[in-house]
Amino acid sequence: MKCSICEEKIKKTEAYQGDAGTFYENKPLCETCYYEDEPCATVFYKRDDQPYIISHTRDETEGDFSVGWHSTDPWRGYYETKSDKYSLVNTAELLAYHESEKMLKDFDERIRELFDEHNIDYARVFARSSNIFYNNYDLYVKKRHELISSLLVAKAKSEVDYNNPKWYRNIVFDENALNKLSQLFPERQIKTDYDATRLIEELGDNALTELQTRLKENRNKKQERNGSAHGI
């Protein structure tokens, strides 16, 4: 018998099996590959500081959560989380050294205070991406607490100025690129990196063609305005 990851020979009596719901579910694994596979996501329940790991081989949440890879191109992407037992009430992008770090820290502390005050069963899930400086922070609550939790999330956001567009700029697109896209696609009301990224994803393979078309149209309009100004 061979390990499904490293292909090292292992005795049947010493083989591990991938946990249910993982990529290597029920597949034979050596001890090292089973325990040392890189985590895809880390879960923290309420105020418990114990991390519960979800990897390609292990699910320490015992089925509470699962992860799947979302590819943005052949080389890049991120892990998405989901749950049948919990409801997602907020998701945020954690970017190292970005100006939004303190605001998100304040939000995290405040929402946990509010959830504790109202006896909400919650879990925080941190999922990694191909970018070592970027992770997703997903906030889940037990389904029976979804409604009140959504109201508490809104309250915490208002207290930390969560929805200010300044927190969501200069993550993927710099200020100049964001302003340019806003000018080229006025109907999309692009204000944040999320708006711009969503536009590019929706355009898909046609993104470059559409961008070139809009740039050309924009140049033609400028030339027409310049011509009119000079009486041509």
What does the mean pLDDT of the chain come to?
87
> Kind of pairing, strands 52-54 and 86-95?
unpaired
pLDDT for 224 equals 78
Mean pLDDT of 98-127: 93
Supply the pTM of this predicted model: 0.71
pLDDT for 22 equals 94
> Residue 99 pLDDT > 80, yes or no?
no
> What pLDDT, in 10s, does the model give residues 122-180?
999 999 988 877 789 999 999 999 999 999 999 999 999 888 876 665 555 656 777 88
pLDDT for 36 equals 93
